[in-house]
């Protein structure tokens, strides 16, 4: 039996009525085999009673008995087919479509039939690949919920795609509701959509790659920031340690100086006291002599010695002698020296800071479309100076109409930005950065609230940072070249005297939400 089953094909065990493997196979008197239930129902609805294959007519319904021989062979075949399916097909896993026909262990479906609304594994799919009637059924890749592929209105497969309404329709929908629409077969619609999906997938993948690169960039920035932070901390510790050592050293020197002067004062006082005590001793001695002469009964002796008393050396005039502190102003001089040392350290730090921000330098070109008509741009739009006459220029939205201003063409909306402006010999100027949406047609105050972060010079020596409120600036010397640095994320705008490597002013805690342009 096992040997026989190896050479028998599935076709030999298929019922010609249900086109499936026999269930309770029975034989008719003419020798053909059918499922017992299939042939019984066939005879119940068909008259006369005849064989569905050879059309032999029977006067009465034959008595049917299960053909045990064929039944055993079918059982053997089912077992063999199941083993074959198990070896060639995989068991359905979560997320995969299972075969609807398999009993017991559900195998993975290979195809779904839109006509039968059933999904089949490799074994149960065989009739759809071999039987002429089933070959006309529409097979698709396995999907769950096949009922969703049926038109709810006409109960027919959704075999067409309406490009006009971008929806799947059946043949009756096409005739009734979509007659004048652009309707194509589902496969064609899928191919068109597949191209769009491919483009979308490509765009999504590119967006994913960009974001992955941005993640790497951010991580690298964090690593660099951490290294910068460590470096700045080390630099800060070094500078402040040096300053504290300098302060401590200056304090010790101040204390030593004051103590030495105090000791000198004490020594001077001791000399004065000793000298005074000596004079007091001599004066007491003379006082005693005078007292003896004044009480003498010998009239000759006082008169004779009066000349010797007058000839005694005069005493020192102590009215102008005093002990004055020798350390007055010592603290002031010590603090002044310390201030000079700190100023030198500050200058070194500012020089390093200026070099750091200068690495973000941008070659700014002035934008002639923004320049006020009275301004003259020259030197490939690198210089600006006032003109004598107001030129007749188009009043574009970008142009300043009232105030003589001009913007740079370059802008910043992220990161850092640095540029320099020559102001040598000028008696008045404004410079800084301005946001893109500033009002260019009216006389608007130059303030952060109105979109300007600037400093200015008036009357050759009056400097001011136009904050809210404005801040008067006291500069040691007029700057010849001003550097402007912007850190967009930090919300920082700083101005430097480039030649002196000195910080002029900083706007801090700014909140930027749009492009900034050199002003």
Q: How far apart are CA 110 and CA 124, in angstroms?
A: 10
Is residue 240's pLDDT more than 90? no
Q: What is the pLDDT of residue 444?
A: 86
Is residue 6's pLDDT more than 50? no
Task: Check whether the bond before 144 is cis (ω within 30° of 0).
Answer: no
Task: Check whether the bond before 469 is cis (ω within 30° of 0).
Answer: yes
The overall average pLDDT reported for the chain is 85
Q: What is the pLDDT of residue 293?
A: 72
- Least confident piece of the model among 240-244, 367-371, 411-415: 240-244
Q: Which residues contact 142 (CB under 8 A, 6 or more apart)?
A: 96, 97, 108, 109, 110, 111, 112, 119
Q: How far apart are CA 391 and CA 272, in angstroms?
A: 88
pLDDT in tens, 440-465: 988 888 999 999 999 999 998 999 99
- Least confident piece of the model among 164-173, 177-186, 284-293, 489-498: 284-293
> Helix 300-310 vs helix 186-294: angle between axes, to the nearest 10 degrees?
150
Answer whether 155's CB lies under 8 Å from 137's CB. Answer: no
φ and ψ at residue 462, rounded to 5 degrees = -105, 105
Q: What is the pLDDT of residue 4?
A: 43
Is residue 101's pLDDT more than 70? yes
- Least confident piece of the model among 162-171, 203-212, 302-311, 421-430: 302-311
Helix, strand, or coil (residue 111): strand
Answer whether 118's CB lies under 8 Å from 112's CB. Answer: yes
**Helical spans, DSSP H, in 359-475:** none
Q: What count of other Cβ atoms lies within 10 Å of the Cβ of residue 212?
A: 10
Q: What is the pLDDT of residue 431?
A: 96
Answer whether 488's CB lies under 8 Å from 516's CB. Answer: yes
Helix, strand, or coil (residue 135): helix
Answer whether 505's CB lies under 8 Å from 474's CB. Answer: no
Q: What percent of the chain has pLDDT over 70?
A: 91
pLDDT in tens, 417-427: 999 999 999 99
Q: What is the pLDDT of residue 205?
A: 93
Q: What is the pLDDT of residue 135?
A: 81
408 forms bridges with which residues in the sheet? Answer: 366
The better pLDDT of the pair 411, 171 is held by 411
Q: What is the pLDDT of residue 76?
A: 81
Q: Which residues contact 140 (CB under 8 A, 6 or more apart)?
A: 111, 112, 114, 149
Is residue 299's pLDDT more than 60? no
Q: How far apart are CA 513 and CA 516, in angstroms?
A: 9
Helix, strand, or coil (residue 37): helix
Confidence of residue 87 (pLDDT cuts 50, 70, 90): low
Answer whether 73's CB lies under 8 Å from 82's CB. Answer: no
Is residue 326's pLDDT more than 70? no
Q: What is the pLDDT of residue 2?
A: 44
Is residue 92's pLDDT more than 80? no
Q: How far apart are CA 332 and CA 171, in angstroms?
A: 103
Helix, strand, or coil (residue 144): coil
Q: What is the pLDDT of residue 298?
A: 59
Q: Left (φ > 0), alpha (ψ -120 to 50) or beta: where does 379 sit?
A: left
Is residue 310's pLDDT more than 60? no
DSSP label at 66?
B
Is residue 315's pLDDT more than 80? no
Q: Report the pLDDT averaged over residues 141-168.
A: 83
Question: Which residue from 89, 35, 39 is spatially nearest to 62, judged by alpha carbons?
Answer: 39
Confidence of residue 283 (pLDDT cuts 50, 70, 90): confident
- Structure tokens belonging to residue 144: 């769950």
Q: Report the pLDDT averaged over residues 380-405.
A: 87
Q: Report the pLDDT averaged over residues 89-105.
A: 79
DSSP per residue over 146-195, as a string?
A: GGGGB-TTT-SB--EEETTTTEEE-HHHHHHTSTTS-EEEHHHHHHHHHH
Is residue 142's pLDDT more than 60? yes
Answer whether 376's CB lies under 8 Å from 384's CB. Answer: yes
Q: How far apart are CA 452 and CA 448, in angstroms?
A: 5
pLDDT in tens, 338-358: 888 877 777 888 888 899 999
Confidence of residue 8 (pLDDT cuts 50, 70, 90): low
């Amino acid at each position: 039996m096992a040997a026989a089953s190896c050479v028998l094909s599935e076709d030999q065990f298929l019922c010609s009525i249900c086109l499936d493997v026999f269930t309770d196979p029975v034989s008719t008197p003419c020798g053909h085999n059918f499922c017992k239930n299939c042939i019984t129902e066939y005879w119940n609805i068909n008259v006369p009673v005849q064989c569905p294959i050879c059309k032999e007519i029977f006067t009465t319904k034959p008595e049917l008995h299960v053909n045990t021989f064929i039944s055993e062979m079918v059982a053997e075949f089912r077992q063999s087919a199941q083993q074959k399916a198990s070896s060639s097909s995989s068991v359905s896993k979560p997320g995969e479509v299972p075969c609807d026909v398999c009993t017991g262990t559900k195998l993975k479906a290979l195809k779904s039939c839109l006509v039968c609304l059933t999904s089949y594994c490799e074994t149960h799919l065989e009739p759809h690949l071999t039987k002429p009637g089933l070959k006309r059924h529409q097979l698709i890749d396995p999907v769950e919920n096949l009922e969703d592929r049926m038109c709810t209105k006409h109960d027919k497969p959704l075999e067409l795609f309406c490009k006009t309404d971008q929806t799947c329709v059946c043949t009756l929908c096409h005739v009734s509701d979509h007659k004048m629409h652009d309707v194509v077969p589902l496969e064609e619609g899928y191919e068109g959509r597949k191209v769009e999906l491919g483009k979308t997938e490509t765009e999504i993948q590119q967006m994913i790659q960009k974001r992955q690169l941005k993640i790497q960039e951010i991580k690298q920035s964090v690593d660099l920031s951490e290294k910068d932070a460590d470096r700045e901390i080390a630099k800060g510790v070094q500078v402040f340690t040096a300053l504290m050592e300098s302060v401590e050293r200056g304090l010790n020197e101040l204390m030593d100086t004051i103590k030495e002067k105090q000791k000198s004062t004490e020594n001077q006082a001791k000399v004065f006291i000793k000298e005074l005590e000596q004079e007091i001793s001599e004066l007491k001695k003379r006082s005693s002599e005078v007292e003896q002469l004044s009480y003498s009964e010998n009239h000759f002796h006082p008169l004779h010695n009066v000349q010797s008393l007058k000839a005694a050396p005069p005493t020192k005039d102590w009215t102008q002698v005093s002990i004055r502190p020798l350390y007055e102003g010592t603290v002031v001089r010590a603090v002044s020296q310390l201030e000079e040392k700190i100023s030198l350290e500050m200058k070194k730090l500012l020089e390093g800071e200026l070099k750091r921000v200068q690495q973000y330098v941008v070659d700014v070109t002035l934008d002639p479309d923004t320049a006020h008509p009275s301004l003259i741009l020259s030197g490939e739009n690198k210089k600006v100076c006032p003109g004598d006459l107001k030129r007749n220029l188009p009043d574009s939205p970008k142009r300043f109409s009232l105030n003589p201003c001009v913007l740079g063409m370059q802008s910043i909306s992220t990161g850092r930005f640095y540029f320099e402006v020559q102001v040598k010999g000028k008696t008045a100027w404004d410079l800084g950065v301005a946001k893109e949406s500033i009002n260019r047609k009216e006389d608007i105050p130059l303030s952060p609230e109105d979109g300007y972060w600037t400093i200015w010079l008036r009357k050759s020596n009056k400097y001011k940072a136009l904050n809210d409120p404005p801040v008067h600036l006291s500069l040691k010397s007029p700057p010849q070249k001003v550097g402007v640095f912007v850190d967009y994320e930090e919300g920082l705008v700083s101005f430097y005297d480039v030649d002196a490597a000195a910080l002029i002013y900083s706007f801090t805690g700014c909140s930027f939400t749009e492009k900034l342009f050199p002003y």
